[in-house]
Structures are given as structure tokens and as C-alpha cells.
A and B are shown apart, each in its own frame.
Chain A
């Protein structure tokens, strides 16, 4: 139990930052000061090119970065679980079709596809969630399907069928609970990878420029002189937040060694 402590504590910190940014942040993202200030007592990480306090920006950015990650994870999990359940339960042409679709989504290079979509649509956060979610369900579907195929002819399922329950009832009441333990680590991993994708897309300038996320901050630092001025305290805090956030979320899945192995290999 003790090894869950650190990741959970980290997630709790990030969650607090996301829910109550106003309580922790010394300033709001709209307050302006002298630009390009070095760190001092008032501005712990200095100020950026528009004179905003970097520490406050990092705290306010938490909400969007986490929200996009978890929401796309949720979209992907719902789609993947439903498709996996149906494909594993049915053995006819439907299974073939669904698995074919899964394989195609698996082959398509995800980030270039999101990039071209985002370039056409200039997306806000909601669109990004939808696109990232719609492109990352394939691994979930595969894991769920293989698990369903394992338990499909188990005694308790046969019993339910003999009792005359409908397919829908059996899938959701009998099989879903068995599948659930593999879905949870998968959800965590999809969330982490969605956070990485979001950070990468924002770095390319493909997210809504009016909202702040960690990726947007790094992109600002990269494009607006953070590197030439050697302002490591500008891009390092958001970068560390991304890394620690992804690490904390992923390690929840990895700590459960058996689950992790199933998840990594499929």
C-alpha cells in the first residue's frame, strides 16, 4: 500500500491545483507586471513575455491539462469497452468488422492525424477531447475483447444464459464486472497519453491560444525568447508538471505489476 502513497499524493496536489487555483496562486493570469522578470520573492518563477506571473500560470493551467487528459481517457474507455464487449461476445461477422476497424485505427499514425485535423478545425478544448478520445480506443477494445473471450464460456455466464437472461443483461451485469479490472489501468494509461498528446499539440500552436495549458506555456517559452534568455524557470515548471503528472498517473497502473504487464503487451 505504501508505494501508492507518492503517486496518490502527487495526484492530490494536482487535483487541488486544478479545482482551487484561486486559493493557491499568488496572482491571477490576467494581472500584468514587468516582462521577463527573473525569479525573486514576489514572483517565485519570474514573469513571462506578457508580464504574467509564471507560478500562477502553471497553477491555473493545471485544470485544462488534467481535464483534457481525463475527459479523452473517458471517451476512449467508453467506446473501447463497448466495442470490445460486443466484439468479444459475438463471434460472427460483427466481430470481424469491429476488429478490422480496431486494427485500422491502430495502424493510422495518431499524432499526424490529430495534427492535420487540428489544422483544419483550429480546435477548442472540447474538440480536442473528442478527437483524442476517438483515436485512442483501439487498445482498450483489444484488451476488453480478449478478456471477454476468456470468460465467455465460463460457468457463470452459461448459467445466466440458461436462466434466459438477454445478451445485453449478461454483457453488462455478468461480464462487465469481470472485465473492469483490466479497464482501469488502461484508462489511466490512455489518460496519460492524452495528456502527452495535448502537450505536444499545444507545443505546435494547435490549441486554442486564449486558454492556458502546460503545453501552451512551453510553446510560449520556446517561441517568445525563453531559451535565448536562458529563462529555464519559465519552461521548466510546466515541463516538470507534465512529467510528474504523467508519471504519477502512469505509475498507478504500473504499480499493479500483473495488470501492467497485460496492459503493456496488448
Chain B
């Protein structure tokens, strides 16, 4: 256990280091003046201001010292300053992250619950026509890039049918208005998460089904649903957890794209605007925050894995 724990901790620490290095090194090694990368390309400044910024951003100091200052800044929550939006990056992200997390959180909850339950059923009843149809639908949906799925739903339900509002998070700040605005984005992302988990769960249950213990339970006369949801599912759910760690980054970036499509004022639109005007401090800050979240999600999945499957702790697999 200690050996595994040590190895895991080293890996997470190394990932964090790589993330910080990426954010630190990019503006400094790319061809061109690093000041321009740190303040953004479209800002027009005089040479004097440029020289002043150079000193103020610490770019005239040796690289190790710059790195130390940068790390200290990151640890104290200073992610740089956006000269386009005249605001610290940390507060820009802080203002909007709640909405993105709400979108991701709700969709994950719905998508995982529905995906796991129906994936288990599809795997258990894999010969039925309806199960095959659901699998086919799952494969199709998981092949559509999330933003395209959003575009399709957007054009059908918003432009054609007018069921949902065009843009924004709310018209009046109450829960119903927010739900009305978020319904379609959440549905898009949840559908995507659902399809992926359905496929993983199906494959996993198909493998578990042929083990001896479900057959033994069946021989004892345990009803099918109880075998599936009481015995098989507990084992079959492990690949979902492994996959969650890998999928998190993917789902999160899917959420960013969906926000752009539906004009929700979250991290995605912040990123989109920053890309158009090449606002590098905002892009770096966003990457840092998303990457750290991905590392945390991985840790969470690891811990949960140990809770659900006690063998991991005991035998040290």
C-alpha cells in the first residue's frame, strides 16, 4: 500500500510540476517578446511602458528567480493580470467558475447515474433488440463531438421549436429561469456522458456476466435483477472509475464548448473571447485551473477506487 501510495503521490506531484512548467515556460520560450505574451497581443504600448512592464513583470531577472516569483504568485492565488479586461485573471475565473461547475456537476450526475444503470441493463440483456438499439445509439452519440451535439440540439430546440431561450444564464435571477436556460446545455453534456458510460458499463458487465459467481447466484434462485444490481454491478463499476479519471478533462472541455454554443457566461465563453483577442494571461490561467481540477479529479477517483474495491488496499494490486 505504501509503495503504491508513494508512487501515486510522485505522479501527481510530477503532473502538477509539468502543468506549472507549461504555464511558466510557454510565454518565455515562444519566438517573440515575452512581454507581449504576458500582456496579450492586441495591447498597444509605447517602448517606455514596455520597459516598465518588463521590470514590473520581473522579466529582467534570472529564470530561476522568475520561476520562484511565479510559483509564489500561483500559490497565493495570483494568476496574472488581463490587460484586455482590466482585471486580475484569478477574479475573472473565480466569477465564472461556479456556472461551469454547475453545468459540469449536474451533467455528470445525470449522465453517470443514467449511463451506469442502463449500461448494466444493456450488458445483462445484451441479446434483446432494445438493448442492441440502445448500444447503437450510444456508439453514435459518443462519436459526435460534444459541441456538434450542442449545435444540433440548439438549432432544433431553440431556432426551430423555440422551446428554450437563445442565450445567457437567466433573465430573472430565480431558480426557474436558471433551470430553463441551463436545461438544454445540461441535456447535451449529460447525453454525451451517458453514452460513454453506457458503453463502458456494457462491456464491463458482459465480462462479469460469464464469471462463476453470477451463475452460482442464479443456480441458488436469486432473481436476475438482484444478481445484476446487487452483485455484478459492484464489480463491473470499477472500469467506470478508471475511465472517470481519463474522461474528466474531456468532459470538462466539452462543457467549455457547449457554453460557447449556448452563450453561457462561464469559463468557456471567457476562453473563447481570450482566444479571439489572444489574451494569453487568461488562457494560461484557465489552463492552470482546469489542469489542477483534472489532477484533483484523478485523486478523487483513486480514493473512491480504494473505498469501492477493498482488494486494492489489502493485496496491493
Contacts and interface: CB of A to CB of B under 8 A. Distances in A.
A235 B152 CA distance: 10
Interface string B1-39: 000000000111011001100100011001000000100
Interface stretch (A38-46, A68-76, A199-207): A199-207
Interface string B287-303: 10011001100100000
Interface residues of A, number: 44
B286 A112 contact: yes
Nearest to A121: B30
B253 A199 contact: no
A19 interface: no
Nearest to B135: A254
Interface string B223-243: 000000000000000010011
Given A111-B250, A112-B290, A243 B143 contact: yes
Interface string B250-268: 1011001100110000000
A196 interface: yes
Interface in A194-222: 196, 199-200, 203-206, 218, 222
A182 interface: no
B114 interface: no
B251 to A, nearest CB: 10
Interface stretch (B62-70, B74-82, B169-177, B277-285): B277-285
B280 A104 contact: no
Contacts of B307: none
Contacts of B250: 109-111
A194 to B, nearest CB: 12
Interface residues of B, number: 60
A137 to B, nearest CB: 14
B207 interface: yes
A264 B138 CA distance: 14
Contact of A265 (B151, B203, B283): B203
Contact of B145 (A103, A230, A242, A264): A242
A94 to B, nearest CB: 15
Interface centre among B145, B248, B287 (most CB of A within 10 A): B145
Interface stretch (A29-37, A161-169, A170-178, A245-253): A245-253
A232 B156 CA distance: 10
Contacts of A106: 245-246
A13 interface: no
Given A100-B11, A113-B22, A107 B239 contact: no
A107 B284 contact: no
Contacts of A242: 144-145, 148
B206 interface: yes
A224 B253 CA distance: 24
Interface of A: 100, 103-104, 106-113, 115-117, 119-121, 139, 192, 196, 199-200, 203-206, 218, 222, 227, 230, 232, 235, 239, 242-243, 246-247, 250-251, 254, 260-261, 264-265
30 contacts: A100-B11, A103-B15, A104-B18, A106-B245, A106-B246, A108-B291, A109-B250, A109-B253, A109-B290, A112-B286, A113-B22, A113-B287, A116-B22, A116-B283, A116-B284, A119-B278, A120-B30, A200-B145, A200-B147, A206-B275, A227-B154, A239-B151, A242-B145, A242-B148, A243-B144, A246-B143, A246-B145, A250-B143, A265-B204, A265-B243
Given A116-B287, A139-B246, A218-B151, 15 more contacts: A106-B246, A107-B245, A108-B294, A109-B252, A112-B249, A115-B287, A120-B30, A222-B261, A227-B155, A227-B159, A232-B155, A246-B145, A261-B206, A265-B203, A265-B242
User: Which 8 interchain pairs have the tightest Cβ spacing?
Assistant: A109-B249, A111-B253, A246-B143, A247-B143, A261-B203, A196-B145, A109-B294, A107-B15
Interface of B: 10-12, 14-15, 18-19, 22, 26-27, 30, 37, 139-140, 143-145, 147-148, 151-152, 154-155, 159, 199-200, 203-204, 206-207, 239, 242-243, 245-246, 248-250, 252-253, 256-257, 260-261, 271-272, 274-276, 278, 280, 283-284, 286-287, 290-291, 294-295, 298
